[in-house]
């Protein structure tokens, strides 16, 4: 079976969405609205290094939290009041971004990316260079493009 490298399939469908730390959450919402396929926005510092990410799900949860009264959350038992109130008062990406992340490089193989996506249950991965700069995005749809390419070459 042929090995396909990430550089051969990344950015075919999606380009990485990137914001700097300190940006308002509303800017993240607009970025998602302007790029309807992406489900992840990568957060970088002033040196252009990736420091975290925000998923569409988490951004929507923060933006819409004001529409649901706190009694709903308290009765659901899913979140304690302190974490809920802290999340509800978040205004910038730094307050809601995830800082635990895994990325891949252009040199990695498609099967490595598939294993990572499966293990961590994600639909997008940042493609980073050796300086932790985001140079691309690998989406599950791009994985399918790579899979089709392999199947066609096997014929």
Which whole number is the average pLDDT over 69-79? 62
pLDDT tens-digit readout, 87-143: 677 889 999 999 999 999 999 999 999 999 999 888 899 999 999 999 999 999 999
Residues counted in the chain: 155
pTM of the model: 0.85
Q: Does residue 128 contact residue 107 with C-beta atoms inside 8 Å? A: no
**CA atoms of 29 and 36, how far apart (whole Å):** 11
Mean pLDDT along residues 34-59: 94
Q: Output Rg (C-alpha) for the chain, integer angstroms.
A: 18
Q: Alpha-carbon distance 53 to 122, whole Å?
A: 12
Measured distance CA(30)–CA(63) in Å, rounded:
11
> What domains can be seen in the chain, in order of their start residue?
6-154 (3.10.580.10)
Residue 22: which of 95, 98, 122, 121 has the closest Cα? Answer: 95
Give the CA distances from residue 112 to residues 6, 7, 109, 117, in Å, rounded to whole numbers and listed in that order.
9, 13, 5, 9
CA atoms of 81 and 32, how far apart (whole Å): 28
* Helix-then-strand count for the chain, H and E: 7, 5
Query: Where do the DSSP E strands lie in 3-133?
Result: 17-20, 40-44, 50-55, 124-128
What percent of the chain has pLDDT above 90?
59
- Residue 14 predicted with pLDDT over 90: no
């Amino acid at each position: 079976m042929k090995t396909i490298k990430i550089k051969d399939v990344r950015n075919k469908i999606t380009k990485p969405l990137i914001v700097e730390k300190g940006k308002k959450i509303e800017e993240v919402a607009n970025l998602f609205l302007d790029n309807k396929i992406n489900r992840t926005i990568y957060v970088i510092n002033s040196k252009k290094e990736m420091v975290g990410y925000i998923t569409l799900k988490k951004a929507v949860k923060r933006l819409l939290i004001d529409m649901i009264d706190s009694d709903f959350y308290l009765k659901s038992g899913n979140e304690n009041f302190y974490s809920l109130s802290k999340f509800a008062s978040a205004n910038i990406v730094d307050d809601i971004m995830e800082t635990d992340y895994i990325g891949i490089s252009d040199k990695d193989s498609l099967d490595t990316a598939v294993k990572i996506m499966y293990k961590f249950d994600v639909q997008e991965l940042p493609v980073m260079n050796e300086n932790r700069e985001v140079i691309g995005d690998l989406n599950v749809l791009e994985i399918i493009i790579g899979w089709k390419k392999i199947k066609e070459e096997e014929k």
